[in-house]
Amino acid sequence: MELSKLKYTPKRLEILKRLGINDSEEVLRYYPFRYEKYEIMPFKSFKEGERVVFEGEIISSPSSYRYKRNLSIVRFKVLVEDEYELTLTIFNRIWAKMLKINDRLIIIGKYEGERKVTVMNYYSAAKKDMLGIIPVYPLKEGMSQNDIKKIIDFTIKKTDFSELEMIPSEYVKAHGLCSFNEAIRSIHHPQDELSLKKALARLKYEEFLNFYLALELLRGEKSLKMPKVFDIKKIDELISSLEFDLTKDQAKAIKEILDDMQSDKVMYRLLEGDVGSGKTIVAIIALYANYLSGHKGVMMAPTEILAYQHFESLVIALEVLGVRIELLTGSSKDKEGVKKRLKEGDFDIVIGTHALFYEDVKIADVSLIITDEQQRFGVMQRRKLKNKGENSDFLMMSATPIPRTLANTIYGDMDVSIIETMPKERKGCDTFLFSKNDIKPIVSELRAILDKGEQIYVIAAAISKSEMIKAKDVYELEAELKKIFPEVNIGTLHGKMSASEKEVIMKAFYDRKIAILISTTVVEVGVSVKNATAMVVYDADRFGLSQLHQLRGRIQRGNRRGTFYLLSDSKDENTLKRLKTLTMTNDGFKIALEDLKIRGMGDILGTRQSGLPDFILGNIFSDTKIIAAAKEDAKKIAQSTDEKALELKVKILKKASQSYID
Ligand code: ADP
Ligand code: MG
């Protein structure tokens, strides 16, 4: 229901707005993020400095002092367990002086030792039901737990739950789930652990069911297409002309992709492989096969730099074979010329950035679409892309290292190929963590690297000075490093530069005209400069592990061993432990798992930008049974024409189309 229909007070509406809540159902689903257990404790178990909960009878009249307009103290004694006299102090609740001798209270407070308690909350003992499992909600400044609780209780009271029960009853029965009504009441007012558990089970199931149902509905039937016919010998020739042998996994991925292309079903496949695992060549071969079959292909990269690099790789590999390759980015020089050739079909393969799809670019006869580094695209954007080239085969490449089982959970709508083995001659990387955000200890090492003619990346967490982010910024580092290394050229790169400015710098680095490149994470994705063998990351604690691992991938492109320096002033034990993971393993999958444990799925996949659903309660690691059930049921519901199933499907499609807008 719309919020306006519920007649919230203006203050409550303001709170809801600030929490980003748009309708009454979202209020009901504003779940606690943890619970506190309030149980009466025996006095003997009280420990100084800790929270205590007990019942007491007032045995002295409250005395009160007021010492500023809002500051006050109320004090009195209570008798606990008919035996112990405790002195209670209540701050800033002057009305507590109205309490009377013989009143019985439930008190939640902090034990200060020597039979003294500072009261956090108290209730009349008649309200014993306040005890138990107490929800704690996420808040923003200026809101109280009580504000939220009242809003939620008010909403529960005003809600007609019969309309909100979306799961068809046979599934509710089959899994022994509680109703939506019951689940919502229990999650906000759990009677006991069992009822809370049941509520959680129901709501998690619902989350996963909705997710899989969305995938099912959006997938539709696998569309049919004309199978592609190409001469596999020509592809073998290309492969044997490469300067390296394909890894086992590369060969397998290529086979899976070519099989898809030769089939009469449209390909919808995810190619996943850690940074440096060699996904580009797989894409090139797919594009070549597509060309051989007489069709045109599109490859899309998230940045201009990457688009340019792919363009170069394609030219090197395929131009001699007569393939016509075009590049279209926001800053392409002869844009009109390129657009014209694309429209008239006067090309074979085009590489580009988002510009390709969102500007008014017409591309004739596309029949293979490849996107590189998909983490920036969500489910909905994937659909949109796919619909651009109706019935074209679709290959999405990603370096987000998600284990196969999870990939199936998250990308349930796609087939998955994974490259796990790294190219043999990869020399790997040494990683060092320094407990000071300072380059001094490694200056001589860096100089030795420069003396060999190799290049260095320096990564900064900020572009310029800001009060928000306390980190060394690009320009500060530029000034510092120019003093330390006056003998070499130093360049800077960051996301606020125009695409063509970035291009110039990146090109200069590529051509070795710049020895040290100071940059924000814009170099994170896919960029390949083989002669760059070292990277220094300032304020390393500001980055996620997966992100650092991606960055590290930049210096493992050639056949020399890279060196990765993490600098951080952080004294936080957990942070340091987290960063140490990187010094111990170079396995992207392990690192992603570590990261997941700490930061959750959304951070890794960039859920917010990508439009993937956030599982609020569900946990893709531990809820595997619920996931399996939800997945199976989603398939059945997708096929069902029962009234209830239809209703649910409409609702989910509506939600999906909303998130499609951004
Ligand atoms: P990513 O999977 O991160 O996109 P790339 O495709 O950019 O990785 O490959 C990284 C580097 O490894 C490139 O320079 C590429 O030429 C090289 N490479 C790819 N496959 C192999 C292989 N089988 N053996 C050796 N080098 C390879
Ligand atoms: Mg790549």
Ordered domains of the chain (ranges, CATH) = 40-130 (2.40.50.140), 160-220+635-657 (no CATH), 232-419 (3.40.50.300), 429-585 (3.40.50.300)
Q: How far is the CA of 429 from the centre of ligand 1 (A)?
A: 15
Residue closest by Cα to atom 9 of ligand 1: 278
d(CA 484, CA 440): 9
Residues 6+ away with beta carbon under 8 Å from 358: none
Please return the burial class of 596, using the count of CB atoms within 10 Å of its CB with bins 0-12, 13-18 and 19+: buried
Ligand nearest to the CA of 305: 2
Residue 454: name the closest of 563, 314, 600, 322 by CA.
Answer: 563
pLDDT at 523: 67
- Whether 399 lines ligand 1, by a CB cut-off of 6 Å, is yes
What's residue 604's pLDDT? Answer: 46
Start-to-end C-alpha separation, the chain:
22
- Give the pairing of strands 349-352 and 366-371: unpaired
Half-sphere exposure of 71 (CA within 13 A, CB side): 2
Phi-psi region of 453 (alpha: psi -120 to 50; beta: other; left: phi over 0): left
pLDDT over threshold 60, residue 463: yes
Going by pLDDT thresholds of 50, 70 and 90, the confidence category of residue 382 is low
What pLDDT is recorded for position 602?
46
pLDDT for position 527: 67
Tell me the CA–centroid distance for residue 22 and ligand 2, in Å.
39
Q: How far away, in angstroms, is 418 Cα from ligand 1 center?
A: 14
| 425 φψ region: left (φ > 0), alpha (ψ -120 to 50), beta (else) | alpha
Kindly report the protein residue whose alpha carbon is nearest to atom 24 of ligand 1.
423
| Ligand 1 atom closest to the CA of 283, numbered from 1 | 6
Question: Do the Cβ atoms of 576 and 433 come closer than 8 Å?
Answer: yes
Band (pLDDT 50/70/90 cuts) for residue 613 is very low
Contacts of residue 53, Cβ cutoff 8 Å, sequence gap at least 6:
38, 39, 40, 41, 106, 107, 108, 131
pLDDT in tens, 242-251: 989 999 999 9
**pLDDT one-digit tens code per residue, 480-502:** 999 999 999 999 998 888 877 88
Between CA 487 and CA 64 the distance in angstroms is 73
Any ligand 1 atom below 6 A from CB of 330? no
Residue 659 has pLDDT above 60, yes or no: no
Q: In terms of Cα–Cα distance, which of 258, 355, 219, 381 is closest to 298?
A: 355
Given a cut of 80, is residue 528 above it in pLDDT? no
pLDDT(256) > 90: yes
Residue with the smallest CA separation from ligand 1 atom 19 is 278
At residue 387, does pLDDT exceed 80? no
The pLDDT, as a whole number, for residue 609 is: 35
Residue 540 has pLDDT above 50, yes or no: yes
Report pLDDT for 620: 67
**413 band by pLDDT with thresholds 50, 70 and 90:** low
CB 218 within 8 A of CB 395: no
**Model confidence band, residue 608 (pLDDT cutoffs 50, 70, 90):** very low
Q: Report the distance separating Cα 464 and Cα 471, nearest Å.
A: 9
Q: For residues 187 and 347, give the distance between their C-alpha atoms in angstroms, rounded to a whole number.
A: 59
| Ligand 1 pocket test target in 281, 316, 375, 426 with most atoms within 8 Å of CB | 281
Give the environment of ion ligand 2: residues with CB less than 5 A. Answer: 526
198 CB within 6 A, ligand 1: no
Is there a contact between 637 and 648 (Cβ–Cβ < 8 Å)? yes
pLDDT at residue 100 tops 90: yes
Higher pLDDT, 474 or 622: 474
Is 310 near ligand 1, meaning CB less than 6 Å away?
A: no
- Quick check: CB of 528 below 6 Å from ligand 1? yes
Atom of ligand 1 nearest to the CA of 372: 4
**What confidence tier does 121 reach under pLDDT thresholds 50, 70, 90?**
confident
Report pLDDT digits (tens) over 419-461.
988 887 667 889 999 999 999 999 999 999 999 999 999 999 9
Candidate of 557, 559, 560, 586 to mutate for ligand 1, largest count of ligand atoms within 8 Å of Cβ: 557
CA distance linking residue 589 with residue 400, whole number of Å? 9
In sequence order, what are the beta bridge partners of 123? 106
Taking CA atoms only, the protein residue closest to ligand 1 atom 22 is: 423
How far apart, in whole angstroms, are the C-alpha atoms of residue 538 and residue 294?
Answer: 49
Q: Which ligand is nearest to the CA of 313?
A: 1
Residue tagged 């619909």 (tokens): 387
Strands 63-66 and 72-80, by their bridges, are antiparallel
Closest ligand 1 atom to residue 425 Cα is 25
What average pLDDT does the segment 366-378 reach?
74
Instruction: Answer whether 97 contacts ligand 1 (Cβ < 6 A).
Output: no
Q: What is the pLDDT of residue 661?
A: 34
**Cα-to-centroid distance, 130 and ligand 1 (Å):** 62
C-beta of 276 in contact with ligand 1 (< 6 A): yes
- Joined together, the tokens standing for residue 73 give 């103290």
Report how far Cα 506 is from the mean position of its chain's Cα atoms: 28
- Compute the distance between CA of residue 304 and CA of residue 360 in angstroms, rounded to an integer: 18
Average pLDDT, the chain: 86
Question: Which range, 354-363, 509-518, 612-621, is most confident?
Answer: 509-518
Ranges of H-type helices in 224-277: 232-241, 248-262
- Ligand 2 centroid distance, CA of 176 (Å): 46
Residue 244 Cβ < 6 Å to ligand 1: yes
Mean pLDDT of 534-539: 96
Distance 556 CA to ligand 1 centre (A): 10
- From the CA atom positions of the chain, what is the Rg in Å? 31
pLDDT of residue 614: 55
Is 400 a pocket residue for ligand 1 (Cβ < 6 Å)? Answer: no
Reported confidence tier of residue 660, pLDDT bands at 50, 70, 90: very low
Task: Tally helices (H) and strands (E) across the chain.
Answer: 23, 21
557 lines ligand 1 (CB under 6 A): yes
In a mutational test of the pocket of ligand 1, which residue from 238, 252, 272, 280 has the highest number of ligand atoms less than 8 Å from its CB? 280
pLDDT at position 662 over 50: no
Tell me the mean pLDDT in the region 140-150. 87
In tens, the pLDDT along 33-77 reads 888 878 889 999 999 988 899 999 999 999 999 888 778 999 999
417 lines ligand 1 (CB under 6 A): no
CB atoms within 10 A of CB 165: 16
DSSP class per residue in 535-546: EEETTGGGS-HH
Residue 652, pLDDT score: 80
CB 456 within 8 A of CB 515: yes
DSSP string covering 564-629 = EEEE-----HHHHHHHHHHHH---HHHHHHHHHHHHHHHHHHTHHHHTPPP-SS--TTT-HHHHHH
